Homo-oligomer: A and B are copies of this chain.
Amino acid sequence: MRILFDAYGGDNTPDEAIKAARLAKDQYPIELTLVGDSEAIAHRAGQLGVSLDGIDLHHAPTAITMEDEPTDVLKRLSDCSMAEGLRLLHQGEGDAFVSGGNTGALVVGATMIVKRIKGVKRAALTALIPSATGNYLLLDVGANADCRPEMLAQFAVMGSAYMEKIVGVKEPRVGIANIGTEEHKGTDLQRQALALLKDAPINFIGNAEVRDVPLGCADVVVCDGFTGNVMLKLTEGLAKMFVGELKQVLFKNLLTKMGALTLSGSLKSFKQKLDYKKSGGAPLLGLMRPVIKAHGSSDAEAFQNAIRQAVSMVENRVVETTEQAMTQLNSQLKQRAGAQEQ
């Protein structure tokens, strides 16, 4: 297995990418290709004292930044490390691609270069978010601001396959993010997606009332990319607010400071649970081969986790499972549309 890894995707690259490549190569039985300005990578590795033994370099002269337009990955910056990595993946010169770069560019690039699984309308961006009982997979979290009901149905199938194969949740409970559990709730999008998913080849539980989502009411939660991104960002913002409020409470006076001291270990683990950014990367689902979006702020450890995730997606044949489930779903949707026409 060969993992392709973008050496210039993220705030702390190439340094943290170089370190992560070393850690991953030493710990996992994989081949690894670092994509980026190979001379600069070799030079910087020397300065950092990190050996590149056994790690392959693939040269790409430019890099796409957070400020560039997503479509630049196809045109103006088609020789950037991200585009080059995606091309290698498409050509079969690697089994998965990991990048911490421009999210929009990665979605556009992966869709156009790696291409989607047959029958998949749109690739989806995911986030694995902590809940009271574990984690739930939220998708789409921003690749597609506007969605049609068929897309939500497909996200459900794609998310279910990932959650079962990679996170290890048996028969994951899949729900539609909605403002109530009743069938008539929400907009046309939720109502029509609900109808489409009734016979889908997954453990579909209907609407997931958003209030209960952080409490663990579903393992996979599907929605349009606008709603998903709102949920993701509100979760991040509230976590930050809560931790801030808590700090104010804890360091109010000497007595509470002493209390806080006895709690410091526990509070740290509380904070860490909320800081899910460290848990790895977010897979883009629906593509012909695994593509993982690592957080832009990733350090070596976070990048290494994202690489481990890519390895797991290849080992567990997520793409193949998704392909099969998607064929089943699409034939059901076709039958359904045919029955409605008659």
Contact = CB atoms under 8 A, between A and B. Distances in A.
Interface in A145-201: 145-146, 177, 179, 186-188
Contacts of A249: 263, 266-267, 269-270
A258 interface: yes
A11 interface: no
B145 A187 contact: yes
Contacts of A262: 255-256, 258-259
B234 A231 contact: yes
Nearest to A251: B266
Interface of A (DSSP majority class): helix
A112 interface: no
Contacts of A132: 241, 244-245
Contact of A237 (B215, B227, B246): B215
B226 A238 contact: no
A333 interface: no
Contacts of A179: 142, 145, 226, 229-230, 233
A236 B263 CA distance: 25
A263 B187 CA distance: 44
Given A142-B179, A234-B235, A214 B226 contact: no
A242 interface: yes
A26 interface: no
Interface residues of A, number: 52
A226 B262 CA distance: 43
A269 B246 CA distance: 10
A252 interface: yes
Interface stretch (A52-60, A89-97, A204-212, A286-294): A204-212
Contacts of A274: 242
A203 interface: no
A237 B242 CA distance: 13
A263 B273 contact: no
B237 A214 contact: yes
Nearest to A179: B229
A131 interface: yes
A141 to B, nearest CB: 9
Contacts of A241: 131-132, 214-215
A273 B263 CA distance: 21
Q: Which of A146, A229, A244, A269 has the most CB of B within 10 A?
A: A229
Contacts of A326: none
Contacts of A186: 145, 226
Interface of A: 131-132, 142, 145-146, 177, 179, 186-188, 209-215, 226-227, 229-231, 233-242, 244-246, 249-250, 252, 255-256, 258-263, 266-267, 269-270, 273-274
Given A215-B240, A227-B227, A234-B235, 15 more contacts: A132-B241, A142-B179, A146-B188, A210-B230, A210-B237, A215-B241, A226-B227, A246-B270, A249-B263, A249-B267, A256-B262, A256-B263, A259-B262, A259-B263, A260-B263
12 contacts: A131-B241, A142-B179, A146-B187, A210-B230, A214-B237, A215-B240, A231-B234, A238-B239, A246-B246, A249-B269, A259-B260, A259-B263
